[in-house]
Amino acid sequence: MTMSSELIIHSRPYETRVALAENGVVVELHIERKTGQELIGNIYRGRVVRVLPGMQAAFVDIGLERSAFLYVSDVHQDLMELERMMLGDSTGIDTEVSADQEDLLVERRREIPLNIEDLLREGQDIMVQIAKEPIGTKGARLTCQISLPGRHLVLMPNVDHIGISRKIEDPVERERLKSLVQEIRPGRFGFIVRTASEGIDKNKLKSEMDFLQKLWTSIQEKMARHTSPGLLYEDLGISLRSVRDLFTREVDRLVIDSREEYSAIMEFIETFVPALKYSVELYEGPEPIFDFYGIEMELSRALDKKIWLKSGGYIVIELTEALTAIDVNTGSYVGARNLEETILKTNLEAVKEIAYQLRLRNLGGLIVIDFIDMEKKVNRERVFTALKEALTKDKAKTHVLKMSELGLIEMTRKRTRENLNRFLSEPCFYCEGRGSLKAKRTICYEIFRDLEREITATSQGAQVLVHVNPLIARVLKEEEQQTVIDLEKRINRRIIISENENLHMEQYEISS
């Protein structure tokens, strides 16, 4: 049975949401708001403001509100390459190393420790790239290992290495691509060949390689011209990033509801992958695109702590500062034969839902899953194997430990951005931080979408009245004033904001 995949993009001036759906089910959601927080992949001229030998890290000013963080391992990730240079061997990563040489390198590693104070000094200007966006109270995490992703290739100007995506499994094709890149790459630049390169010809690879090289040259020139910390290169917006990173042969079509973004996507595709242009559609229906494809309802579940399973069991997802705890329960499911079989079936069903929720909610860091206790070791192995299998579709790197005697599985999932819950919510002041409410902007944007729905469902009138909590009214009248004006033009109605202190912050009423 073939799996149909679609990219659905809802684009508005204030927010763009990208949903990857497989067989009609949303498996990934990416959101970008015009708040300046979408920073990952951006390249900056940074200035070291403090070196911390005890933590083997440094704080770097990159022109943002908070200083960013740079670990010693992110200054020189390729330790073997650095050690070869120290030994006078610059032949690169493909060099065969004998056992004697390997012993020498290990010995030299002990003799030449890499200390942050030896690599960086306060006041030093360096080029850095954001590897992890600011999460919670933590500043952005940086790396000196610059990478510039294209549609088919990733340029790594500071590393002499050629890598092939593990998703390209055919050994003949892997060797062909590696030989091609080796033949046409300029100098000793490093490249990663992406999954989208499978079957591509030499001319297209060369064209993208030249483009990435010119981009790198322009970034170096900006670095030389600038004298203070600031942005050197900004990664693509979320719509074009989705085309570059997610729109592969496995995705059947892309649907977007903005004519302006549609034109930008078509221009991008014509340049890099013209064969996909027939798979892009402009949605112009009266109903909001996420409503039309049934995505909005699915997303509302992504903020719930309790998720029901089809059998009647359920899982509970709790986010804490240190980790994410997931609890599996049988709920109303009583089974048909015996207790062990009932528990096993619930756990196996929970595995699929957990893998899905991790991907949808972008949960990362340490995750502890409390499955229902099973007496038989073979059943514990089945659940562990099923979880590993369910996680294979996840693009984020995961590491799973075997189930303990108590039915606990510990795992980690690489985190680069805020999870969906923290992105869409903010701490609740009604309950002194014990829970959370939707963010004010999230409520405002729900109001905007509801207004679009309301107008398509009712007859034309002169104005529409929106009753909201005073806190929401303030955001609508100040921070989102221009958006309200744009929306008035879009729906051809005047929008009047009315404050009502009796309304909960998440409540609002719309009347014509």
Q: What is the mean pLDDT of residues 226-230?
A: 90
Q: In whole angstroms, how far apart are CA 93 and each of 81, 103, 152, 179, 190?
A: 7, 17, 22, 15, 10
pLDDT beyond 50 at 82: no
Confidence of residue 352 (pLDDT cuts 50, 70, 90): very high
Rg (CA), the chain: 26
The pLDDT score that the predictor gives to residue 229 is 92
User: DSSP for 441-455?
Assistant: HHHHHHHHHHHHHHH
Q: How far apart are CA 26 and CA 420, in angstroms?
A: 13
pLDDT beyond 60 at 2: no
Q: 377-390 and 339-361 helices cross at what angle (nearest 10)?
A: 20
The pLDDT score that the predictor gives to residue 330 is 81
Q: How far apart are CA 182 and CA 264, in angstroms?
A: 32
Q: What is the mean pLDDT of residues 169-182?
A: 90
Q: Give the containing element (helix H, strand E) for 74.
A: helix 72-75
The pLDDT score that the predictor gives to residue 198 is 84
Instruction: Tell me which CATH homologous superfamily contains domain 45-233.
Output: Nucleic acid-binding proteins (2.40.50.140)
User: The domain 439-511 is classified under which CATH number: 1.10.645.10, 2.120.10.30, 3.40.1260.20, 3.30.1600.10?
Assistant: 3.40.1260.20
Is residue 103 within 8 Å of residue 96, measured between CB atoms?
A: no
Confidence of residue 102 (pLDDT cuts 50, 70, 90): very low
| Secondary-structure percent of the chain, ordered helix, strand, coil, rounded to 5 | 35, 25, 35
Query: Both tokens of residue 36?
Result: 């300046």
The tens digit of pLDDT for each residue in 456-511 reads 655 566 789 999 999 999 999 999 999 999 999 888 889 999 999 999 888 999 98
Cα of 277 vs its chain's centroid, Å: 25
pLDDT beyond 90 at 383: yes
Q: In whole angstroms, how far apart are CA 472 and each of 13, 60, 432, 452?
A: 19, 36, 19, 18
Mean pLDDT, the chain, rounded, equals: 84
The pLDDT score that the predictor gives to residue 224 is 92
Taking alpha carbons only, the member of 253, 289, 250, 284 closest to residue 269 is 253
Q: What is the mean pLDDT of residues 369-374?
A: 92
The pLDDT score that the predictor gives to residue 348 is 93
Q: How far apart are CA 31 and CA 17, in angstroms?
A: 5
Neighbouring-strand partners of residue 49 = none
Residues in the chain: 512
Q: What is the mean pLDDT of residues 34-53?
A: 84
Is residue 209 within 8 Å of residue 153, measured between CB atoms?
A: yes
Q: How far apart are CA 333 and CA 313, in angstroms?
A: 6
The tens digit of pLDDT for each residue in 256-315 reads 999 999 999 999 888 877 888 889 999 999 999 999 998 888 887 788 889 999 888 899
Q: Which residues contact 389 (CB under 8 A, 6 or more apart)?
A: none
- At 293 the three-state DSSP class reads coil
The tens digit of pLDDT for each residue in 195-212 reads 888 888 888 888 888 888
User: DSSP for 421-434?
Assistant: HHHHEEE-TTTTTS
pLDDT beyond 70 at 46: yes
Taking alpha carbons only, the member of 42, 398, 396 closest to residue 241 is 42
Q: First CA to last CA across the chain, in angstroms?
A: 48
Taking alpha carbons only, the member of 305, 322, 323 closest to residue 314 is 305
pLDDT beyond 60 at 77: no
Sign of CA dihedral 211, 213, 219, 225: negative
**Stated pTM of the model:** 0.73
The pLDDT score that the predictor gives to residue 311 is 84
Confidence of residue 449 (pLDDT cuts 50, 70, 90): very high
Confidence of residue 337 (pLDDT cuts 50, 70, 90): low
User: The domain 5-38+237-297 is classified under which CATH number: 3.40.605.10, 3.30.420.60, 2.40.30.30, 3.30.70.270?
Assistant: 3.30.420.60
Sign of CA dihedral 61, 63, 68, 73: negative
User: DSSP for 166-216?
Assistant: TT---HHHHHHHHHHHHHH--TT-EEEE-GGGTT--HHHHHHHHHHHHHHH
